């Protein structure tokens, strides 16, 4: 009796299975499968990689407080190595805050015009939904009537408090470049301080124990702005003041 073979499709299927097994053995031997898996795993979505935070110091921690800094050229980093090296950016980095600057050089509570004053940026600060707001400065208001500065500062503080009822809002007064503080600078400091206290906001004076002592290495050639070393000194003083007032935990 003649032995019958299976149907042709069964034979072809068996050959196919054998070829697939053979290809798998070759791929495993040369690592093709591992390379393909690594490539597929690394493709991901475009936005899947962590993004650096505003300080430029690495990936942003989603649990870190967002801190908005409203200020002048000091806050913007004039005299520093770069915007990310301003005294406020350095302080935010040390405190583990996500840094959001709202700084324009030459501006203040009343200077130089309504379109560029601190008040003109309040809505932008509120829109950022920060957990912390630090308003810093400013010597740019020198020459203005202290009463006008006090009124403008009070308006800034009340609008920020109304728009950010849960945020910690801190006011830092004007910074001078030496221990010898002119009377009009002290008057400016008093005006901003009065407005902050009236709004029941913490006020940090940078003049009672001047943060800059006039050392040449701390002051830029223009005699106004701090050098990078000056920004580092200011950053340390700001962090110390925040800790002293219990606004941030002491390290």
Residue 8 and residue 88: Cα distance in Å, rounded? 80
Cα distances (angstroms) measured from residue 122 to each of 125, 166, 198:
5, 16, 19
Q: Return phi, psi of residue 103, to 5°.
A: -125, 135
Residue 4 and residue 23: Cα distance in Å, rounded? 31
pTM: 0.74
pLDDT tens digits, one per residue of 95-139 = 999 999 999 999 999 999 888 999 999 999 999 999 999 999 999
pLDDT tens digits, one per residue of 53-95 = 344 434 445 689 999 999 999 999 999 998 899 999 999 999 9
Of the chain, the percentage scoring pLDDT greater than 90 comes to: 69
> In whole numbers, what is the pLDDT of the chain averaged over residues?
80
């Amino acid at each position: 009796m003649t032995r019958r073979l299976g149907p042709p499709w069964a034979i072809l299927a068996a050959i196919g299975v054998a070829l697939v097994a053979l290809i798998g053995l070759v791929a495993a031997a040369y690592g093709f499968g591992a390379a393909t898996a690594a490539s597929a795993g690394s493709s991901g979505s475009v936005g899947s990689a962590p993004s650096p935070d505003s300080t430029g110091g690495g990936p942003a921690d989603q649990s870190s407080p967002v801190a908005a800094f409203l200020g002048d050229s000091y806050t913007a980093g004039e005299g520093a190595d770069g915007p990310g090296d301003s005294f406020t950016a350095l302080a935010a980095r040390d405190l583990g805050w996500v840094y959001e600057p709202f700084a324009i050089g030459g501006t203040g509570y009343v200077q130089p015009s309504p379109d560029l004053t601190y008040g003109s940026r309040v809505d932008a600060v509120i829109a950022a939904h920060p957990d912390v707001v630090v308003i810093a400065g400013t010597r740019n208001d020198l020459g203005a009537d202290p009463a006008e500065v006090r009124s403008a500062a009070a308006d800034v503080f009340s609008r920020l408090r109304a728009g950010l009822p849960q945020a910690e809002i801190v006011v830092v007064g004007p910074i001078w470049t030496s221990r010898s503080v002119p009377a009009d600078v002290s008057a400016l400091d008093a005006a901003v301080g009065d407005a902050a206290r009236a709004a029941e906001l913490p006020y940090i004076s940078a003049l009672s124990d001047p943060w800059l002592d006039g050392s040449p290495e701390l002051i830029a050639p223009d005699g106004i702005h701090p050098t990078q070393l000056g920004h580092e000194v200011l950053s340390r003083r700001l962090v110390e003041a925040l800790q002293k007032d219990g606004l941030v935990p002491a390290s």
